[in-house]
Amino acid sequence: MRERRSILLLVPLSTNLESAVRDLTVARADENHDNGLAKRSYALAHIVTGTARSRVCGYLGAIEDHQFATLRALVRAANGGLSGFSQD
């Protein structure tokens, strides 16, 4: 029996707007103490990779609920629907 691993989808951030694809990018709020960013960053939904949850040892910051919902929809659109993309 194959062991199931917890996989996270990783969406890279960039401070360079030129890295962004207009309709597949979520702009994070400007830098502030609440979100943990030093500069305005863009979540690049068209460049997604995965890794085991156990390999993640920290986080860069946080996004607001409405930004996460938009990002989830853009990742699905950019990657052909991503069947099995968990709602958790």
SS (H, E, C) 6-67: CEEEECCEECCHHHCCHHHEEECCCCCCCCCCCCCCEEECCCCEEEEHHHCCCCCCCCCHHH
Residue 30: CB partners within 8 Å, gap ≥ 6? 40
Phi, psi of 21 (to 5 degrees): -100, 120
Q: List per-residue pLDDT tens for the chain, 88 residues long.
A: 555 668 888 888 888 888 777 777 776 656 666 777 778 888 888 888 888 888 988 877 777 788 888 888 888 887 776 555 555 4
Phi, psi of 74 (to 5 degrees): -70, -40
- Listed by start position, the domains of the chain span 7-78
